[in-house]
Amino acid sequence: MHHMTLAEIARGLADKKFSSEELTKTLLARIAQLDPQLNSFISLTEELALSQAKAADARRANGESGALLGAPIAHKDLFCTQGIRTSCGSKMLDNFKAPYDATVVAKLAAAGTVTLGKTNMDEFAMGSANESSYYGAVKNPWNLEHVPGGSSGGSAAAVAARLLPAATATDTGGSIRQPAAFTNLTGLKPTYGRVSRWGMIAYASSLDQGGPLARTAQDCAILLQGMAGFDPNDSTSIDEPVPDYSASLNGSLQGLRIGVPKEYFGAGLDPRIAELVHNSVKDLEKLGAVIKEISLPNMQHAIPAYYVIAPAEASSNLSRFDGVRFGHRCENPENLIDLYKRSRGEGFGAEVQRRIMVGAYALSAGYYDAYYLKAQKIRRLVKNDFMAAFNEVDIILGPTTPNPAWKLGAKNSDPIAEYLEDVYTITANLAGLPGLSMPAGFVDGLPVGVQLLAPYFQEGRLLNVAHQYQLNTDWHTRTPTGF
Ligand code: GLN
C-alpha cells in the first residue's frame, strides 16, 4: 500500500479497494517502524489523522469525490496547525501551538487530506542539509550517512522512504527543489504569490513560497491544485485564476524550446551530474523538444545577493521572537534587555544567529546602500536575464544542484561551502519564477535532479514537461533499499 502515489490512492479509494482509514493506519505503523532511522517527523498527529480519514471515508460514502479526499500527507513544521505544535525546527517555538491553521493547511484539509504529522526542517528554514534543526538532523533514505537536503529535508526523506505519498514544503532559495534532487523526488516551487503565505512562518518574505514535494509530476499537480489560489489574508498573494494542473499534463513536447544556459556548466559542477543533465536533454529532444544554448550572465552574482537579501529579511521577521510576544523565554530575567538577550540567545541556534547578525548589519544605517540596495539591484539584473531568455525559449533546463547529497557533518564547519550549493536554485526565488526538480539518474547510488524553470504562472508547463519525461524514463520509480 505504501508504494502508491497520490493518483493511485485516489483511484483505489474511488474503486473502494481500501478506505482512507486503512491506508492511514498502515502508514502510521510504517512511520513508527521506520522513522527512527530518518528523524523526518517532529510531531505525529495520529488522532487528527484517524478522525480526518474517517471523515473522508464518510464523505466518499456520501457520493463526494476528489483527488485529495482521504489522501494522507504531512506538513512542513512551519505551516501553522491549530492546536498542534508548530516549531519551525527551533527551540524558540518548541512550545508553540498555533492558534489557527495556515491557509495552505486549511485548504488541503477542506479538500479532504489526512494530516499524519509535521515534518522536520532546518531551523527557520535556513539551510541546505537539514542539519540545523533543534530536533536533530534528518537522514537521507538513499544513504543514511548522507544529508537529505534542506530545508524541507523531513518532508523529502519521509516521501522518498514511502512513509507517505506527498508533503507540503517551502522554498526560499531551493528548499523544495534541492531536497527533491537529493532524495529522488519531484518538487515544485510555484511562482511567487501563487500559494498563500498566510500562517506560513516567514523566513525571507520576498522569496518564500510554499509548494508540493511528491514522487511524480502528476502528484505535484494534484497537491498544488489543493494549495494554490488567491488569499485576501496574504497581501502578496496574486489574484489569478488557478488552472487545472492535471489537465495540463497531456501536452506534446513537439517544438518546445528548451534553453540550456552555458553558465550552468562551469567549474564546480560535478561532471557526472553534467552528463546526466545532458542525457535528460537528449531524452527530451527525442520527445520533440528543440534545444538552444542561452546565457544568464548575472548568475554569478546571485549567491552574494541572496545571502544579503535573505538574512536581511530574516533579521526583521525574526525580531518578533523576543520571549514576550512569541517564543522561548529565559528563566529569571534581571530586566527587559536581559530577557531579550538571553531568550533569543537560548532560543535560536547558531545558523539563525549568524543570519540575524549578517542581516541586521546589512540593513544598518551607513551600510544599507552598500549591501541591501546593491543586492536588490543585482536581483533586478538576474530577473532581466530570465526575461530576455524567455523571449527565446519556453523552458530553461539545468542541474538542480552542483553535487549529490554530501555526508552528514561534511560542511558544518564551513557555512559558505553550504551556501554555494544553492547556486542553481536561488535565482528562481530572486526572480519569483516557478521551478521544478525531477529525478534524472544517480551518482554513487545517490539521486541527481534536473531543474526546469518557466515564465511566471507556467507551473502547468513545468509539470507537463516533467510528466512527459517521467512517462518515458523510470528514474522517479526507483526506491531506496530498506524502504
Ligand atoms: N539554502 C537556502 C538558505 O539557507 C535556502 C533555504 C530555503 O529555501 N528555505 O537560505
Predicted confidence (pLDDT) per residue in 200-230, tens digit: 999 999 999 999 999 999 999 999 999 999 9
Active-site residue list = 76, 151, 175
Whether residue 128 has its Cβ less than 6 Å from ligand 1: yes
Predicted confidence (pLDDT) per residue in 60-79, tens digit: 999 999 999 999 999 999 99
Whether residue 308 has its Cβ less than 6 Å from ligand 1: no
How far is residue 389's CA from residue 138's CA, in Å, rounded to a whole number?
37
Whether residue 419 has its Cβ less than 6 Å from ligand 1: no
Whether residue 430 has its Cβ less than 6 Å from ligand 1: no
How far does the chain reach from its first CA to its final CA, in angstroms?
Answer: 13
Q: Identify the three-state secondary structure at position 306.
A: helix
pLDDT score at 20 = 98
pLDDT score at 267 = 86
Instruction: Give me the domains of the chain, ranges plus CATH numbers.
Output: 6-255+397-411+421-477 (3.90.1300.10), 300-377 (no CATH)
Instruction: Tell which residue, 428, 430, 478, has the closest CA to residue 458.
Output: 428
Instruction: Tell which residue, 473, 457, 469, 478, has the closest CA to residue 185.
Output: 478
**Dihedral sign for Cα atoms in the order 277, 176, 189, 112:** positive
pLDDT tier at 256, thresholds 50, 70, 90: very high
What nine digits make up the cell of 425? 536554485
How far is residue 13's CA from residue 103's CA, in Å, rounded to a whole number?
26
If one residue of 205, 422, 426, 437 were mutated to test the ligand 1 pocket, choosing by the most ligand atoms within 8 A of its CB, it would be: 422
How far is residue 427's CA from residue 435's CA, in Å, rounded to a whole number?
10
How far is residue 437's CA from residue 176's CA, in Å, rounded to a whole number?
8
User: DSSP for 70-84?
Assistant: T-EEEEETTB-BTTB
If one residue of 76, 152, 172 were mutated to test the ligand 1 pocket, choosing by the most ligand atoms within 8 A of its CB, it would be: 172
Predicted confidence (pLDDT) per residue in 230-253, tens digit: 999 999 999 999 999 999 999 999
pLDDT score at 324 = 93
**Separation of 203 CA from ligand 1 center, angstroms?**
9
Lowest-pLDDT choice from 45-49, 385-389, 417-421: 417-421
Across 168-189, average pLDDT: 98
Residue 479 near residue 449 (C-beta atoms within 8 A): no
**Separation of 122 CA from ligand 1 center, angstroms?**
9
**Separation of 14 CA from ligand 1 center, angstroms?**
38
Across 81-106, average pLDDT: 98
